[in-house]
Structure 1
Amino acid sequence: MTAALDTLHRIFGFNDFRGVQGRVVDRVLAGQSTLAVMPTGAGKSLTYQLPATMLEGTCVVVSPLIALMHDQLRAAEAVGIRAATLTSVDQNRAETRGRFLDGELDLLYIAPERASTSDFRELLERGRVALFAIDEAHCVSEWGHDFRPDYRLLRPLLDRYPDVPRLALTATADAHTRADILDQLGIPQDGLIVAGFDRPNIRYAISPRDNTTRQIADLIAETPGPGIVYAQTRAGTEKLAEALAKTGRPTRAYHAGLDPEVRARNQADFVASEDMVICATVAFGMGIDKPDVRFVAHAGLPKSIEAYYQETGRAGRDGDPSVAHLFWGAEDFAKARQRVAEVEPQRQAGERQRLTALAGLVETTGCRRAVLLRHFGEQPGEVCGNCDNCLNPPMGTEATEIARKFLSAVFRTGQLFGVGYVEDILLGKSSERSLINGHENLSVFGIVDGEEAALIRPVARALQARDALRANPHGGLEFGPAARAILKGEVDVTLVLPPKRERRRKGKAGAAEANPVGDPLFEALRERRRALAKEGGVPPYVIFHDSVLREMASVRPGTLDALSRISGVGARKLDAYGEAFLSTIREFE
């Protein structure tokens, strides 16, 4: 490992490995196949990039998205690693093949679809492969939340090279999915390394939807830096982007229906920006590795806890404080259950379990982080101190009786009407429709008043989240499988009433301000970074992260040798940018 540490410092500018990186690299260099489960931002790519520079031959990296490959390619080349992509959009494919055959590549990125072709197999046979790295490895498992059939075709290719180690990497895999990945990719059981799932720098918050645009606009106003807003439809991304532009922050929309040139430009603008908000469908984010995203907002329910963890994990990859805020509504659960009903029968039980787990996360009065970590098999403490429930505990109120009244009203009105009509019946509000239907003669008409009245809407939302109520195709409510136990008094219903949210001052939502101490040298270094990034045609973070600039501003190195001791300044970046940053520092002497 001495050689590995020397390489780590020379190429990446780090003095030591983080977390389990060292264990993974050690196994790879020893020729042992490994599945590494590491949280987003833990430095998964380094575990194959570093060995690729030390081993004889090329590391073949299987990655699911072209945009992600190109982003990783930029980052690898920035530190001096010889890398290339072989994708359908690359114009230099012949050159890349030649570089591979001549042994001039440390890394070759490909998509799983290409990896299984006979043409690619023949290319590999003519070159030298040192390592197979399978990124986003949960895509190989039908139990995973993002199953990709083409990942299932990798095993025959891997088996053609029994002496070449395999490194599978993922941030989101529960115990069942991990076992399936090991089996599908032919990695031994003792090759599993789990780093843990905690992202302590992310502040988790979940709120019922109540004017989503205003809620997200408030979050944007409070949180400086780039952000991602996930909407559930293509039209929703465009509508939100237009509305949120009124906050004064630059905004863009991103979805598969946009003109390819527009979509590519919007993504490039976001990647290069230090304050832009992009409104996107959930596929966005897998294709980038932008480390300085300060917040992720969900304008609706994600597919599962695994998906939520992965999507929120796109915030704060640089380790600085960040925010993940989910806004949900009862109709989200209705739509989700409809999706479950449409998947293959053999997958429905697993999807229902995922939805139930997600309901537990949004309804809990306890620590959000603890619910997340327990889902992935960890045993966290009861309080994390960095989620909405820990920082501002919600009030739980007994609501079994009002829940039974609501269910009774749904039943007695024929399971045909929506929340608003049922609410009016319970409150005793007369209308032409209630008179025509004869519902004013029902025993449930007007049985709710006083303080209970304010609980009707939250109860309706909770009953839908618990699958005690479902929305029919016409918007009416009907009983779900959990209704009977509540009506019979076998299950209690406790409502989570979030505390009143006080508007915070700008920059106080939990995400870090880039320059918390107001150091003018730091701002000057950022300006120098912007100029160099524009000149080089790369995003600013590819040059240096904010944390590196903060250390420069604090230490104020006066020589290249002193600058090289700043964490994150490797040899290639020292040569390329060292004098430029030193000249800026000297201006403040």
Structure 2
Amino acid sequence: MLLKETQETLRSTLKKYFGYDDFREHQQEIIESVLSKKDNLVIMPTGGGKSICFQLPAILFEGVTLVISPLIALMKDQVDGLNANGIPANFFNSSQESQEQHAIFEKVIHKEIKLLYVAPESLSLLDNILNEEFISCVAIDEAHCISSWGHDFRPSYQQLGFLKTTLPNTPIIALTATADKATRQDILKQLNIPKATRFLTSFDRENITLEVRPANDRVLQIIKFIRKKPNEAGIIYCLSRKSTEQLASKLQQNGIKAAAYHAGLNFAERTKTQEDFIYDKVEVVCATVAFGMGIDKSNVRWVIHYNMPKNIEGYYQEIGRCGRDGLKANALLFHSYSDVIQLRKFASGASNEEVQIAKLERMKQFSEATTCRRKILLSYFGELLATNCGNCDVCKNPPQFFNGTIIAQKALSVITRLKESEAIGTVIDVLRGANNATIIDKQYDKLKSHGIGSDISWRDWQQYLIQLTNQGYCEIAFHKNNALRLTSFSKKVLFENEVVNLTRPIEYKEQVKVQKEIKAKKPKKDTLFERLRKLRQEIALAENIPAYLVFSDATLKEMERAIPMCESDFIDISGVGQRKLEVYGEDFIAEIVSFSNEKISTRKQNNTNKVTYQLYKEGLSIDEIAAKRNLKSTTIFSHLAKAYTDGKDIDIYKFVTKDEVEKIRNAKGELKNPPALKPYFEHFNGELAYFKIRLALSIIDK
């Protein structure tokens, strides 16, 4: 535990640079551990706040934090986000000119940057700074890439073990959203950090609605789905390059702003699609699984799997790319048996073919499940959910269950007798009393429970064991030859007579889902959220940054709820840090004040400009009005600018000269009428205060 003063420093740093008042689950513990120079393994869901776990300590460390990231193309997004928050960061790769690389080294040496992003392939180019004089911390993002057990194995990651040898006293923090037990062990082994502190946060993303549908008329279903969600960004994952292009084309023909993304496109084409999506020029990207890793776009509202993913880790990571801001999001998966056959072919001949096939089978079981899908997802990663989630298609349309407690007790007792060392096939053979070579050789026919389930068919037992696994009563140990093992839930069934509900096995058939024609919903035209969203987009275009780097949708929703009309209230909004208050506060407060005067009928909001104007007419100075109203003087000037625009009697030239107005009028033409005040402020090199710019624009616009 750090000193109270240090904890206060952490909270003030969190608010100043990231705009949040409170840490999420485990974040503060992880940050304290990193600052104490301990190695750490962090398993945290996408959107759970992994980045802050190394970005915040980086601000407080003296030297640079080296961030290993798998994809060069996505580092710019990370660095832009940090710079937007006032945190000096850069990325380094082999495509940069030697002059640019040298400038980065100089910044590292002079401690002018806090974070440096690099791909593992470029580490050899950093020899001159790869020592403890300059490097304070190493963060390895997407750490599951190091393990052949992981779903996204990358050989380039396997060289990273040398970092601990080279930097023995430097803390290493490995982070990933998707790692089962075997992968976690392998990460620690490969990175040479066996004693790392492990942090495993909840995998539950409650805001994402999970749904699986049969793959009939997929394109038609997708078009209807998108039309119900106008102006919302989404990603559609496809199995093949051809599918991405065909689907994008069909969506375009139906008036949907869509683009394709796959490895067959050249670098410029991929970069353009990615940037168009990030900058909200394209609403839908039809992509292979290469798309999305590391993208921090917080306002992706849905993810569709046009084809079934090859494993649950990949599925979980991909759906995690929607709803990162905590607002409601949707994950829709289309299930087709032809996809299963295709994925089996892809796995054939791979060095870890057996593991891939077993994980594919688990994914298939998830798709065909009749139990809460969130339970299945969480239990796969070792997290057991006691009650159904209520936010998946199975929970919303539950199947008919029967009391299967006796069946469950028989199955779990056999797994126990087999010392949790056998896969599902052998477990069923023992249950049914088989006498094949394996059973006899291992003397399983001598077990007391041999044959206790002979009255149930082999196929039905298979379905029941899948259901028990889905409900979290047992789990598959992929790194132990797919052996079935018990979980802590199984004890309640075996020794406390907990009731287990099962469904009768049915042969899975794809049925055509009849749907009524759904008309496209029209977005609400004039809500405060829409007004703020429009302002955000204008600022983003003017500054050439993604809109979500200005403020997230969640922050705009909070503004809509709280209606902050002064700086002290604005800074209290989650997602508003000190830098963003300074850069964007004026514009957003003015928009909120303007909207409130137009739309909101409460006395406080209707009268705020009138009160300021009345005090001005009484002869009070700006500072006196600000003190009396407990507002910043900049807010008072905003009120007066609005009052002047509305035709009130204000001696506006008392606060801004005619010469200054003419300067701003000329700048307006040169800058092509920017929507925000910041371009004017920078145009005059900070010599003209924001309030003068605002007042001058009021005169010009009037």
Letter in 1 for 2:394: N
Is the contact between residue 216 and residue 513 of structure 2 (CA under 8 Å) also seen in structure 1? Answer: no
Instruction: Name the residue aligned to 2:354.
Output: 349
Cα deviation code 1:502-561 (max 9, x no counterpart): 4485689xxxx997xx76222211111111100110110000011211222222222222
Q: Note the C-alpha offset of 1:127.
A: 4.8
Instruction: Name the residue aligned to 1:7.
Output: 13
Is the contact between residue 529 and residue 560 of structure 2 (CA under 8 Å) also seen in structure 1? Answer: yes
The match for 2:244 among 211, 230, 237 is 237
Cα deviation code 1:248-305 (max 9, x no counterpart): 2211111122233222212111111177111111100115221111111111111101
Does 195-204 or 258-267 show the bigger shift? 258-267
Instruction: Name the residue aligned to 1:206.
Output: 212
Is the contact between residue 298 and residue 553 of structure 2 (CA under 8 Å) also seen in structure 1? Answer: no
The match for 2:105 among 97, 103, 111 is 97
Distance 1:384 1:247, change over 3 A: farther
Distance 1:101 1:190, change over 3 A: closer
Cα deviation code 1:59-98 (max 9, x no counterpart): 0000001122111101100101110000133342221111
Root mean square deviation of aligned Cα = 2.5
Cα deviation code 1:212-243 (max 9, x no counterpart): 21121122122340010111111111100011
Structure 2: gaps of 5 or more residues: 1-6, 403-462, 468-503, 598-702
CA distance in 2, matches of 1:360, 1:379: 18
Does 325-334 or 192-201 show the bigger shift? 325-334
Is the contact between residue 365 and residue 396 of structure 1 (CA under 8 Å) also seen in structure 2? Answer: no
Instruction: Name the residue aligned to 1:373.
Output: 378
Distance 1:202 1:507, change over 3 A: farther
Is the contact between residue 305 and residue 357 of structure 1 (CA under 8 Å) also seen in structure 2? Answer: yes
Distance 1:357 1:507, change over 3 A: farther
Task: State how 1:158-557 maps to structure 2 within 5 Å.
Answer: 158-189=164-195, 191-224=197-230, 225-273=232-280, 276-344=283-351, 347-394=352-399, 493-496=505-508, 500=513, 502-503=515-516, 520-557=527-564
Is the contact between residue 86 and residue 110 of structure 1 (CA under 8 Å) also seen in structure 2? Answer: yes
Does 268-277 or 364-373 show the bigger shift? 268-277
Instruction: Name the residue aligned to 2:588.
Output: 581
Is the contact between residue 375 and residue 388 of structure 2 (CA under 8 Å) also seen in structure 1? Answer: yes
Cα deviation code 1:178-211 (max 9, x no counterpart): 1111111122446110002111111111122112
Q: Note the C-alpha offset of 1:121.
A: 2.4
Letter in 2 for 1:547: A
CA distance in 2, matches of 1:64, 1:375: 25
Indicate the SS of the match to 2:131.
Answer: helix
Letter in 1 for 2:107: R
Is the contact between residue 223 and residue 506 of structure 1 (CA under 8 Å) also seen in structure 2? Answer: no
TM-score relative to the length of structure 1: 0.79
Cα deviation code 1:89-117 (max 9, x no counterpart): 334222111111111110000001112x1
Is the contact between residue 61 and residue 110 of structure 1 (CA under 8 Å) also seen in structure 2? Answer: yes
Instruction: Name the residue aligned to 1:106.
Output: 114
CA distance in 2, matches of 1:503, 1:48: 49
Structure 1: gaps of 5 or more residues: 398-461, 467-491
Instruction: Name the residue aligned to 1:75.
Output: 81
Letter in 2 for 1:303: K
Letter in 2 for 1:99: K
CA distance in 1, matches of 2:116, 2:185: 27
Is the contact between residue 39 and residue 196 of structure 2 (CA under 8 Å) also seen in structure 1? Answer: no
Instruction: Name the residue aligned to 2:415.
Output: none
Is the contact between residue 83 and residue 108 of structure 1 (CA under 8 Å) also seen in structure 2? Answer: yes
Q: Note the C-alpha offset of 1:349.
A: 2.2
TM-score relative to the length of structure 2: 0.67
Q: Note the C-alpha offset of 1:333.
A: 1.3
Cα deviation code 1:334-374 (max 9, x no counterpart): 12222222201xx1221122012112101111111111111
The match for 2:141 among 126, 129, 135 is 135
Letter in 2 for 1:569: V
* Stretches (4+) displaced over 4 A: 394-397, 496-508
Distance 1:147 1:259, change over 3 A: closer
Q: Note the C-alpha offset of 1:3.
A: 1.2
Q: Note the C-alpha offset of 1:499.
A: 9.7
How many residue pairs get aligned? The number is 489
Q: Give the number of the structure whose alpha-carbon radius of gyration is greater.
A: 2
CA distance in 1, matches of 2:75, 2:526: 36
Is the contact between residue 204 and residue 388 of structure 1 (CA under 8 Å) also seen in structure 2? Answer: yes
Is the contact between residue 396 and residue 495 of structure 1 (CA under 8 Å) also seen in structure 2? Answer: no
Is the contact between residue 84 and residue 107 of structure 1 (CA under 8 Å) also seen in structure 2? Answer: yes
Is the contact between residue 227 and residue 519 of structure 2 (CA under 8 Å) also seen in structure 1? Answer: yes
Q: Note the C-alpha offset of 1:123.
A: 2.5
CA distance in 2, matches of 1:104, 1:585: 37
